[in-house]
Structure 1
Amino acid sequence: MPYRSPVAEYKFVLDEIVGFSQVAETDTYAEATPDTVEAILTEVGRLADEVLAPLNRNGDLDPAKLENGVVRTSKGFSDGYAAITEGGWVGLAAPADHGGMGLPQTLNCAVNDLFAGSCMALGLNPLLTQGQIEALEHHAPDWMKELYLPKLISGEWSGTMNLTEPQAGSDVGALTSKAVPNGDGTYRISGQKIYISWGDHDFGGNVCHLVLARLPEAAPGTKGISLFMVPKFIPNDDGSLGDANALRVVSLEHKMGIHGSPTCVMEFSDATGWLVGEENKGMAAMFTMMNNARLGVGIQGIGIAEGAMQHAQSYALDRKQGRTPLEGKGGTGTIADFADVRRMLATMKADTFAARAIALACGVAIDMATATGDATWKTRAAFLTPIAKTFGTETGITVSEIGVQIHGGMGFIEETGAAQFSRDVRVTAIYEGTNGIQAMDMVARKMMDGGEMAVALIDEVEANAEAARADFPDLGNAVWQAAETLREATEWMVAQGELNDRFAGAVPYLMGFARVLGGHYHLKAAMAEGGDGPRTRLAKFYIDRLLPEHAGHLAHATCGADDLYAFTTEELTA
């Protein structure tokens, strides 16, 4: 089934749900006018529909290969990447003084959603480069910015992040890669990194690796880690490509999904690198890139949810099986008439909308923090980021699994393409910090303010629910009550002096918070529609059927850790 970019849906969410107009009213983003936004979404939508979506299946069936030390990408991917760079879409949110468009991250989120929904494996490449652009913009020396940023922003060069090592996993502080000073401002970088997405390709240009490594006599753990730029080819002063650097792709991982995206094992053997940021401050610099990527990964989950939903909708409207309850009553005569299939289709649609609204609200907070320098916006963006990443990816996983179920037995047969969405999206809950790590960050670091931002968001939800009560009394009351339950759970979290008690319920707390925010945004959609229309009906479905899940999540969240440690290890593993 052809992919159709949800351009109209994006316009509605931006205009009516997340308050994007306030971003466009700032001096920083004054060029993000409604006409500009519509033109960009329309053009990127055409690119996604006509160029990228036809590559998606081929990337799955004809994966990237390593041949004689060279990564060969899936057929058509090179042309697809060229189309992305020709449109200037890699640099949409990048600084204008280095060749970018300087447009809001919120709009960039929309573009990356369309890329992920049409072909996630290829769309991952510019997403990584965008993260590297932001890291260099904030931490690189001026000469490096002048040399690298124009090339990365144009897409002529691409960027990666190199964190993980075989023995370290998510414990980045356990890495052993070394950086030895040469005495001339360069360093010799040695070590092996795994899970490096788009670590190499045959698109031409340079592949620029940001690598975490440890200087001689550096402190143990994350306090002794520095960040280095280690390019595949050492650039000449004029930006042309010089000698090949001492690095190579050892192998490509054989993955569950996103087969068209080469995931590399990289080896650095006294490769030449340059310091980015200060010595032993590499984690701070890398987190700039990772925070950008975390929202981007949530967006990937939402894009896959969209693609899987459209695939399932098309099948449900085509598949005829058995006698439907609406035969002769204006039904379609297809499985879309069955109540359980309708439940699944509505769940896909409702959760995709909720996840998209949360992610774009996070994007708006990032843009407002950038444009105004206001600390409250910055705190809001930081708090929403783990929710956007986790709920976006969990929604992608759930929706793609429902898509397989709607296909029935054919969903388990690869030729239908339904399973690809489920396989492709599964990694998003793992990379850029697992969803468990996101949730622990939320209940610990993001609540160091005593829960002030969490409470501010809850207050906002309740105020909107109060305003909705006149026209939507049942829906408004349900959202308000859910927010009160969330407030009580938040107060419990803040009161726990033992962080492990918070961590034991971190994931259900985050999911409960997301459920309430989803109810809030669906209620806003009903209010914007102003009557008994499709958005109001979808809001009622979400608030009546999905929002009640928050109670179970939050009950789980406030159990503490004692019952988990009442088990012996042997009991848990027997």
Structure 2
Amino acid sequence: MADYKAPLRDMRFVLDEVFEADKLWASLAGLEGAVDMETADAILGECGKIASQVLAPINREGDEVGSTWKDGVVTAAPGFKDAYQTYVEAGLNGLGGNPEFGGMGMPKTLVGQVEEMVQGSNMAFGLAPMLTAGACLSLNAHGSQELKEKYLPNMYTGVWSGAMDLTEPHAGTDLGIIRTKAEPSADGSYLVSGTKIFITWGEHDMAENIIHLVLAKLPNAPAGPKGISLFLVPKFLVNDDGSLGERNAMSCGSIEHKMGIKGSATCVMNFDGAKGWLVGEENQGLACMFTMMNYERLGVGIQGVGAAEASYQNAVEYALDRIQSRAPTGAVAKDKVADPIIVHPDVRRMLMTMRSFNEGGRAFSTYVAGWLDRAKFSDNAEEKKHADAMLALLTPIAKAFLTDTSLEVAIIGQQVFGGHGFIREWGQEQHVRDIRITQIYEGTNGIQALDLMGRKIVGNNGAFYKLFEQDVNDFIASQAANTAAAEFIEPLKAAMENLADLTQWVIDQAQGNPNEIGAASLEYLHVFGYAAYAYMWARMAVVSLPKANEDFYKAKLATARFYIKRVLPRYIGLSAVVKGGSESLYELDEALFVTA
């Protein structure tokens, strides 16, 4: 199994050359000169070392041993506690946090690269800082000054970690039917009672305290989603002087036995009159929680890209070393009994597909992160409004398309190994199992597609889509005189014309039949994703063309050509599926679904 190597060169290319992050950061008043590429390089380099030297070496044992539960006590997988200390002592835990409370205030365009390295080297571990960051985002945006001062500094340093408690045994996507209750107390706190499931790192021994943000309903709250409030419930109560007090009335009833990410503890959390404090206003819990959803859903997409990158690194090393048969054009390694499998067209197809998705995904996640930075740090009201609209459109694509294609990459990586990919020794099957969850949590990919199609396209008659279309068309127009780039620009133009046509087709069809929205949603999201990646590859190609004599840019252009010629055309068949309509989905009577 190959040692994980942080893809720092490509990250710097995307940040510095493709998106000119220095200029973006300098233009955003809220960053106030907090970061430049020199600072970014130092942070990326430090994280790269920790990812490759500390996190990756414990990934396999974390999968094989996992976190363990006994009598309510959860012990992290071997090596995780020490690795957590190394990680937080490097200052990475509060990288994107509010400087007022001890965070570093770094932009998501940079933080996203750090997240990819952490997730790619050890996804199960990476969920711990990811969940803490999400809890901090909601608390920072909606908590009282007192709560922020009391909890955020220790969460940013990693002395305390965070957890998000949403799902219940009967309530997943439909949070409006949760049963967890919060009873007000005379001192202004609340007593929270109920059971939450699938709580990632809800209990563990890596941090001194765990700060849970829990969705619950107040007495006489309105029915449905409008009656949900958000509460901060610490594992240990915190005294006025900041020291830890008694254990709160909450416990971990068990941890799940999972297909993947076994190193992380996925907990059943029981709250038995646990003391908590309201975050934000009463009955506004979903709004408070959704503050962090754009960040978390992009983070899940980045998880997929990170693990897919690790699978690609394994596959390339194996393909260069494994010898089988001779190349179609004759012997290449004449001193050996057979050639390395990388000479075979099918293996090349697999490796190039992996590479094109990974590098396209890295660019796209950074593109989306740029809109997050504009929405957060700009002092221009119009720019913030534009960025928020772009995020509404792009977030479901970032979550779903990145994770769908990352699972495909991991499966291809397993296939490169043949039979060796099916056994544990080589590590490829773990990537398949780990990435699988990214299509499920933080809103299943089917829900993401329905959100995109129903709310972000049909719901506003394509207004958000037109903003993205204009962004791409402006780029296309800027390259009108660049004849060398035509091989990338013309296919992008065709893909965008198809996407515009398909978008309007679904909007029109949905007026007469609401089923068309759900019927079209997943394939439409993928058509959008392939066009968006074509945009990314065209931008990367334009930067690379003048430097094509250097190996890095030569490889970038070769991968761009492969994507344009061998991957992008998938949108044609998917578009035909969308236009196949919804009728065939409903032709079969429900009773006939049962086959025995």
C-alpha separation in 2, matches of 1:558 and 1:140: 47
Which of 102, 112, 130 pairs up with 2:105? 102
Instruction: Say whether 1:459 aligns with 2:470.
Output: yes
In the alignment, which residue of structure 2 is the partner of 1:354? 360
Aligned CA distance change for structure 1 residues 564 and 193 (closer, same or farther; 3 Å): same
Paired residues of 1:19 and 1:364 also in contact (CA < 8 A): no
Instruction: Say whether 1:148 aligns with 2:163.
Output: no
Task: Provide Cα deviations, 1:180-225, integer angstroms capped at 9, x if missing partner.
Answer: 1112211111111110000111113111111111111112111111
Paired residues of 1:116 and 1:304 also in contact (CA < 8 A): yes
Which of 118, 121, 128 pairs up with 1:118? 121
Instruction: Say whether 1:522 aligns with 2:524.
Output: no
C-alpha separation in 1, matches of 2:16 and 2:588: 51
Instruction: Write the letter of the residue equivalent to 1:27.
Output: A
Q: CA deviation at 1:499?
A: 4.0
C-alpha separation in 1, matches of 2:472 and 2:305: 22
In the alignment, which residue of structure 2 is the partner of 1:238? 241
Q: CA deviation at 1:122?
A: 0.4
In the alignment, which residue of structure 2 is the partner of 1:492? 505
Q: CA deviation at 1:231?
A: 0.8
Instruction: Write the letter of the residue equivalent to 2:231.
Output: F
In the alignment, which residue of structure 1 is the partner of 2:30? 28
C-alpha separation in 2, matches of 1:529 and 1:339: 25
In the alignment, which residue of structure 2 is the partner of 1:408? 418
Instruction: Write the letter of the residue equivalent to 2:462.
Output: G
Instruction: Write the letter of the residue equivalent to 2:365.
Output: A
In the alignment, which residue of structure 1 is the partner of 2:591? 570
Which residues in structure 2 correspond to 1:16-55 (within 5 Å)? 16-25=17-26, 26-29=28-31, 30-55=33-58
Which residues in structure 2 correspond to 1:416-427 (within 5 Å)? 416-427=426-437
TM-score, length basis structure 2: 0.94
Instruction: Say whether 1:477 aligns with 2:482.
Output: no
Q: CA deviation at 1:19?
A: 4.1
Tell me whether 379-388 or 526-535 shows the greater mean CA deviation.
526-535
Instruction: Write the letter of the residue equivalent to 1:387.
Output: I
Query: Structure 1 segments of 4 or more deviating over 4 A?
Result: 326-332
Q: CA deviation at 1:470?
A: 1.2
Which of 47, 55, 59 pairs up with 1:56? 59
Aligned CA distance change for structure 1 residues 440 and 137 (closer, same or farther; 3 Å): same
- Count matched residues: 574
Task: Provide Cα deviations, 1:440-495, integer angstroms capped at 9, x if missing partner.
Answer: 11122223442123123223334434516611333322111111000001112333
C-alpha separation in 2, matches of 1:330 and 1:19: 42
Question: 1:90 aligns to what SS in structure 2?
Answer: coil
Q: CA deviation at 1:525?
A: 1.4
Which residues in structure 2 correspond to 1:546-561 (within 5 Å)? 546-561=567-582
Instruction: Write the letter of the residue equivalent to 1:112.
Output: E
Which of 350, 354, 357 pairs up with 1:344? 350
C-alpha separation in 2, matches of 1:311 and 1:218: 53
Q: CA deviation at 1:381?
A: 1.9
C-alpha separation in 1, matches of 2:415 and 2:398: 25
Paired residues of 2:97 and 2:136 also in contact (CA < 8 A): yes
Paired residues of 2:74 and 2:205 also in contact (CA < 8 A): yes
Which of 353, 363, 371 pairs up with 1:365? 371
C-alpha separation in 1, matches of 2:487 and 2:176: 50
In the alignment, which residue of structure 1 is the partner of 2:527? 512
Unaligned runs of at least 5 residues, structure 1:
none
In the alignment, which residue of structure 1 is the partner of 2:551? none
In the alignment, which residue of structure 2 is the partner of 1:391? 401
Which of 146, 164, 178 pairs up with 2:167? 164
Q: CA deviation at 1:330?
A: 7.0
Question: 2:206 aligns to what SS in structure 1?
Answer: coil
C-alpha separation in 1, matches of 2:294 and 2:486: 39
C-alpha separation in 2, matches of 1:204 and 1:485: 51
The sequence identity of aligned pairs, in percent, is 43
Question: 2:358 aligns to what SS in structure 1?
Answer: helix
Instruction: Write the letter of the residue equivalent to 1:56.
Output: N
Question: 2:483 aligns to what SS in structure 1?
Answer: coil
C-alpha separation in 2, matches of 1:6 and 1:281: 41
Question: 2:168 aligns to what SS in structure 1?
Answer: coil
TM-score, length basis structure 1: 0.97
C-alpha separation in 2, matches of 1:279 and 1:463: 44
Q: CA deviation at 1:334?
A: 0.7
C-alpha separation in 1, matches of 2:366 and 2:514: 30
